[in-house]
A and B are shown apart, each in its own frame.
Chain A
Amino acid sequence: MNRLRRWSDGFITLDGTQKPEELARSTLQILDGFSEIRASYAKLNKPLPPATFISRLLNEPKLVDRLTLYITGDSNKLTDILSFTDYKKGKDPMAEIRRRIPIVLGYWLWESVLRYPGILLEKIAAASYLNISESEFEDPEVRAIFKSTTYNGPFAGAKPTWYRHKLDELISSGGVNNGNELVAKKLGRQIAKCMCSVDPKRTAGYFCIITNRPVSLECSRGGVAWIPSGADLARVSKPAFDELMPWLGI
């Protein structure tokens, strides 16, 4: 049986249920993402900290602190850089390290920033955050309202993703309290709310990274050691937490 490898570090996993042409397009978009990072990194006059570099690449300098919280303490990335270093005589170890950095930055963006909701939200996390049911959020009319908040950095297009802070700005400027109210106001109809996958009486708001489902704050746990500390919307639903607790590094 094939493993999905959604969680494997150093692997990019694509949705295998896509049509061949869609799969090919996603693959190219990922390749483009890495190329974009490499090209931009090559233009630097001096090395920049990862969070500073990515925030400039995304043209979102304000995100630097939040991005820093995604990398602080993540020593795996250093291992990725150093494990390919060749210490043989006559070779410059720093040359190989420099060559590896853009690749590692790409994996970091994909595996950490894009995976754990806090800065960027994939569709389920976005629906949950906006309090719009997943099916309503598939509606092109609804999606159109949030078009200006779409993520367009490296790997955009491989999966639809939205900037959390831009969603906030949009809701805030609409004079409403949440995404659901914004859509209801714009479309002039009631919009189904996004309910918690553990207790359907509660609205969700957060995202369980184990079950991939919307979850409420009350029915989930945060503070798991391997969730990046900037990913405040990433949670583990309580039933999954109780079952997996011995494995979660608590």
Chain B
Amino acid sequence: MPPLNTYQLDHRYREFWDRFKIHCKRNALSLHPTTEFPFKAENKNDHQISVSLTMPIYFQRWRKFGGKVDSDLIDIILYGDETVDTDTNEVILSGITVEYYDVPISKKAGNKVEAKAWERIRYDFKAPARFAHPVFHAQISSTPCVPGFLQKNSAIQWTVGAKGNQPRLSNIKIPTAYMNVISIIANICADHSPPPVFEKLRQSLLKNRHKVPVARTEELREHPLSKPKQCWEGLAWYVDEAPQMAATATAISA
């Protein structure tokens, strides 16, 4: 496969981003940035391109519990970067953070409110894998992100309160699926949007996922599970809706 360049990578992420934005618009889900393209592909060196989020993706006032009609609301931000090795067009490094916030509604227009951080999860991957590090893992911490970085997305009109949740043991590395940007977005939508909305998105993401590069996993290459390789992506860990729904329907009728 010929090496990808920054323009080609940019286009691949753009196609995925456009589809996701359309999906959110059609389902009245508030997603920021609204006009800017948040990804930027830049040459790191002759063999590597980094694709980073220049501003956080902001899921504004989504359901805290996706399946609950009268759910409380939650604000989620996502940022980070991936590095693609252009010799093989595979991702060799990725670090993507998701933060969950409780943002109170301001009573006075223009007043900045203080948000409380629920969770902060960082999904990591590095090739070659390191000893005692699961190839794909997540680390949870309670440290909120620097407010200055948050403000890069102009839709974020709040500051992070000093009072976070309980301190977390952030060196625990929880083995996970391969959580690239697409998989993390699928994860957020699965947990925080109505189930039929998620199902439509999942179908659309599955059709488009081959466009963005996937992780190199030398250690896992010969592993039976790694064929097809995309099974490592977290997105693939969600099953089809139909059998589950059918099972539920049978259980109810019985």
Residues of A within 8 A of B (CB): 65-66, 68-69, 72-73, 165, 168-169, 171-172, 175, 177, 217, 221-225, 227-232, 234
Is the CB–CB distance between B18 and A230 below 8 Å?
yes
Residues of B within 8 A of A (CB): 5-8, 10-11, 14-15, 18-19, 21-22, 25-26, 32-37, 43, 54, 153-155
Q: List the A residue with the shortest CB-CB distance to B19.
A: A65
Neighbour of A172 across the interface among B5, B14, B153, B154, CB < 8 A: B5
Contacts A65-B15, A229-B35 known; A177 to B155 CB distance under 8 Å? no
Is the CB–CB distance between B8 and A172 below 8 Å?
yes
Contacts A171-B7, A172-B5 known; A229 to B34 CB distance under 8 Å? yes
Bound form: Cα–Cα A97–B36 in Å = 34
Neighbour of A223 across the interface among B6, B15, B21, B154, CB < 8 A: B154
Is the CB–CB distance between B11 and A168 below 8 Å?
yes
Is the CB–CB distance between B7 and A172 below 8 Å?
yes
A-B contacts besides A172-B5, A223-B154, A225-B34, 13 pairs, CB < 8 Å: A69-B25, A72-B26, A168-B10, A177-B6, A217-B54, A222-B33, A222-B36, A222-B154, A223-B36, A224-B35, A231-B35, A232-B37, A234-B35
Contacts A165-B11, A169-B7 known; A72 to B154 CB distance under 8 Å? no
Bound form: Cα–Cα A226–B128 in Å = 46
Bound form: Cα–Cα A217–B36 in Å = 10
17 A-B contacts (beta carbon < 8 Å):
A65-B15, A65-B18, A66-B18, A69-B18, A72-B25, A165-B11, A168-B7, A172-B5, A172-B7, A172-B8, A221-B154, A222-B35, A223-B33, A223-B153, A227-B34, A229-B34, A232-B36
Bound form: Cα–Cα A197–B54 in Å = 22
Contacts A223-B155, A229-B34, A232-B36 known; A69 to B7 CB distance under 8 Å? no
Neighbour of B22 across the interface among A68, A177, A222, A232, CB < 8 A: A68
Min CB–CB distance B75 → chain A (angstroms): 16
Is the CB–CB distance between A229 and B19 below 8 Å?
no
Hey, which chain B residues are within 8 Å of A224, CB to CB?
Answer: 35
Hey, which chain A residues are within 8 Å of B36, CB to CB?
Answer: 222-223, 232
Q: List the B residue with the shortest CB-CB distance to A234.
A: B35
Hey, which chain B residues are within 8 Å of A229, CB to CB?
Answer: 21, 25, 34-35
Bound form: Cα–Cα A96–B54 in Å = 47
Hey, which chain A residues are within 8 Å of B11, CB to CB?
Answer: 165, 168
Min CB–CB distance A121 → chain B (angstroms): 15
Hey, which chain B residues are within 8 Å of A65, CB to CB?
Answer: 15, 18-19, 22
Bound form: Cα–Cα A66–B22 in Å = 9
Min CB–CB distance A224 → chain B (angstroms): 7
Is the CB–CB distance between B34 and A223 below 8 Å?
yes
